[in-house]
Amino acid sequence: MLMEGARQLAQGKRPRLGDLLLTPENARKITHQLAQMRGAAMKVGQLISMDAGDLLPPEMAAILARLRSDAQPMPQRQVQAVLTAAWGAKWQQRFEPFSFTPIAAASIGQVHRAKTLDGRDLAIKIQYPGVRKSIASDVNNVAGLLRLSGLLPKTLDIAPLLQEAKNQLREEADYQAEGEHLQRFAELLADSTAFIVPRLHADLTTKNVLAMSYVGGVPVESMLHAPQAERDRIISLLVGLLFRELFEFGLMQTDPNFANYRYEPRTQQLILLDFGATRRLAPAFAQGYRQVVAAAIGNDRAAMTQAALAIGYFDARTQPRHQAAVLDMFEMALTPLRADGDFDFGATDMVQRLRKAGMALGLEREFWHIPPVDTLFLHRKLGGLYLLAARLQARVNVQQLVLPFLQQPGNAIPAKFAAKFAATIQDRESTLVPNLAGKF
């Protein structure tokens, strides 16, 4: 940056700091360094790149997009060192030949397949050394890059958001905690044969190593060419699971990365992976969203305003035009829930319109406001499902999936849906995927 700045000054130019940072050569170097660093810097970059898209300067978008696929695996000696620290010097004696070639590599760890001498077929997730120690500095460095890019106004206080990012990443870096979430989701979904959750092997799990049963399947996005009914069912299951997480479990896996879902075509079951980004949701938070959804379905703008105020999207001091802009985005984002019958995710420009509306609101710098952090994680999950539904060109009756969760004591239910709420749902599977039998 100093060399480029000196060169431009010598030519009589007045360089901008952001322009000096985001030269093509610097972009290449930053990408390479972040990919080597792995850990929190890479994780934050991946999270931002999934959502931000056109919101970022092209050079930074290119940096972050590459981080989704540029994770570099640990060399064998590092893998051995981590496993020796976790399992002891003679750990290899418990396994048939251990494959040191990872079957997956990501920002915080990599996964190896292994078989124990007692016959267990396992997926072993191994954390990169030093990840937890680097979280604070990595998050601060990524925030610094965003500041230099000019994306964030200097007046915006992102300190609470950065602290929450650090807290979340520390939780993701605790594989014992992830193992507990894995077990909990297996218990919560025990009533459904539609999902597969890997089984935790606690005897081999530590803070830096997570051992779970190996599951196969294919990438869920590879089902694009499956029959329409099968694609519809996949998205119906995932949307139904989102509503259960929010309104029933009070526990949500918030990372929408497509790689966290696989599909077993033979049994038509969805495989759920990676529970590191699991968050607990307070009952009051779920109730606020229940009221938002009910009001949106009932076209009750006043009730939407009250629910948005209760959740914290804005307050009484927010200008009316900004309140209206937020509510407009609510209605747009909830379009699939407001549709009577199947909503065609493959034939809508909803995501693009949401992005355009978000950019317009973002230009209103006096409105810049960070809502409660749980809302950001929920939006990430919802946005990720919308993107996957669009990728699979699914058609889903989302309204019918959410209606059973809106019938709560004291909750104002739109009168036009009273008859629908009166219908009895016989079992849990029909709660998740109602009226899909006719599509097969």
Length in residues, the chain:
440
Domain ranges, residue 371: 279-439
Tell me if 169 is assigned to some domain.
no
Predicted confidence (pLDDT) per residue in 345-391, tens digit: 988 877 777 776 666 665 555 555 667 778 778 888 888 888 889 88
Q: Does residue 64 sit within a domain?
A: no
Ranges 301-315, 319-333, 360-374, 406-420: which has the least confidence: 406-420
232 carries an active-site annotation: no
pLDDT of residue 141: 78
- Please identify which of the residues 232, 255, 274, 374 carries the catalytic annotation: 255
User: What is the reported pLDDT for 305?
Assistant: 85
**Does residue 303 lie in a domain region?**
yes
**Can you spell out the DSSP letters for 338-397?**
HSSS-EEGGG--HHHHHHHHHHHHHT-GGG-----HHHHHHHHHHHHHHHHHHHHT-EE-
- Per residue in 162-187, pLDDT (tens digit) is 787 788 888 888 999 999 999 999 99
Q: Would you say residue 243 lies in a domain?
A: no
253 falls within a domain:
no
**SS3 assignment, position 110:** strand
What's the alpha-carbon Rg for the chain, to the nearest Å? 23
Q: Is 174 left (phi over 0), alpha (psi -120 to 50) or beta?
A: beta
Supply the pLDDT for residue 161: 73
CA distance 399 to 258: 23
Give the C-alpha separation, 126 to 112, whole Å. Answer: 8
Please state, in angstroms and rounded to a whole number, the distance separating the CA atoms of residues 170 and 150: 28
Q: Is residue 72 part of a domain?
A: no
In sign, the C-alpha dihedral spanning 435, 239, 231, 219 is negative
- Distance of alpha carbon 46 from alpha carbon 62, whole angstroms: 11
AA identity, residue 1: M
- Residue 3 lies inside a defined structural domain of this protein: no
Q: What is the pLDDT of residues 124-167, one digit of tens each?
A: 999 988 888 888 887 887 777 667 666 566 666 677 777 877 88
Of 246, 255, 114, 103, give the one whose Cα is nearest residue 172: 255
Residue 68 has pLDDT above 60, yes or no: no
How far CA 435 is from CA of 341, 419, 431, in Å, comes to 11, 16, 10
Domain total for the chain? 1
pLDDT at 223 over 80: yes
Span 86-108, pLDDT tens digits = 999 999 999 987 889 998 877 78
Report yes or no on 395 lying in a domain. yes
